Structure 1
Amino acid sequence: MESYRQVVKSMNLLLDEFNVLITKEFKELDDFHLTSQQEVVLIYISRRDRVTAAQIAQEFDITKSAVSQVLTKLEQQDLIEKIVNPDNRRESFIVLGKQGKRFMDTLVEIEDHMIEKYYSKVKMDDLIHMTNTIEEINQVIKKNKK
């Protein structure tokens, strides 16, 4: 167990350092004035065709009330739109609004910049290995949550 503790501590320190080093790359996102929770929810919405507040609450394991508060703030900034479900008029689908699309476009630009400036300087096999390791950890976490 001590070996795991040391490796995880090193990994967390490196991730913290990585976040500090790349923070300047993400300054453009400051214009959106989003909390980290709002960002994560917005990215989640962007990766789905259509999603409901109930699905967001279930995915993030937070109350519908908390989701409603986040969505209200995102909607006020035109980051999302709510579209009434034609099959169930009491339910709405959440999709990206005009500013939400602009936010996602900005993320793509930053990602492209990061690839060109940093990630392309690392061996592809190493990036693949890191990706596979993160996926494996995610799977372990998902299994333990069930």
Structure 2
Amino acid sequence: MKEVEQGEYIKEAYDFFDKVNAHLLKHYFSSLDYEITPKQFLILDRVHKHQPVKVQTIAEQLNFSMSSTSQLVSKLEQESYVVRSINPQNRREIFLTLGEKGNEYYDEYDLIDQFVIDRFFSQLTVEETKQLRDIAEKLHTIVTEEKKAITHE
């Protein structure tokens, strides 16, 4: 009986997070007026968090082929979201950093993100916030350890 209850709680939690995300996207993040696809966003987000980062590293992390990653990066580069540069230590490697439009995007994104934190998440207690973070961290560890066991990384 416990497994059924836990499964239902998990489904309810997913549903609530989906509703929260949909509301935030519709009412706050929709003001980000940039024409990028979900896959381009995944690449842009990796560049933002890990720049400079190799194109090959992004392809591996996102499980994209090098060909599709290169095509997505080319489009982002044409639109000035990212800048490619050659690694001076290994000229066969290409590094990505945010371009002008990428920096503008994340400047706006960070402002909205901070607004959402200040307006909504600040209504949680510090203890609730810590619990939310700890649960997310534990789930991340479980999922990544499972992936390592399957792929023998």
What percent of counterpart residues are identical? Answer: 25
TM-superposed CA distance for 1:93, in Å, is 0.5
Secondary structure class of the residue paired with 2:92: strand
1:26 aligns with 2:29: yes
Q: Deviations over 1:63-113 (max 9, x none)?
A: 111211211111111000001111222221000000000111111101111
TM-superposed CA distance for 1:40, in Å, is 2.1
Quote the Cα distance in structure 2 between the aligned partners of 1:123 and 1:40: 31
- Provide TM-score, normalisation by structure 2: 0.89
Q: Which runs of 5+ in 2 are unaligned?
A: 149-153
CA RMSD of aligned residues (A): 1.2
1:111 aligns with 2:113: yes
Secondary structure class of the residue paired with 1:33: coil
TM-superposed CA distance for 1:28, in Å, is 2.2
> What is the aligned partner in structure 2 of residue 15 from structure 1?
17
Q: Deviations over 1:1-41 (max 9, x none)?
A: 31221011101110111022212101222x11112222122
Residue in structure 2 matching 1:74, options 70, 73, 76: 76
Amino acid of the structure 1 residue aligned with 2:28: E
Amino acid of the structure 2 residue aligned with 1:137: L
Alignment of structure 1 residues 1-146 onto 2, 5 Å = 1-23=3-25, 24-29=27-32, 31-146=33-148
> What is the aligned partner in structure 1 of residue 151 from structure 2?
none
CA contact (8 A) 1:80 1:98 kept: yes
Quote the Cα distance in structure 1 between the aligned partners of 2:61 and 2:138: 19
Amino acid of the structure 2 residue aligned with 1:120: S
Q: Which runs of 5+ in 1 are unaligned?
A: none
- Provide TM-score, normalisation by structure 1: 0.93
The number of residue pairs the alignment matches comes to: 145
Quote the Cα distance in structure 1 between the aligned partners of 2:125 and 2:42: 29
Amino acid of the structure 2 residue aligned with 1:50: P
| Structure 1 stretch displaced more, 94-103 or 40-49 | 40-49
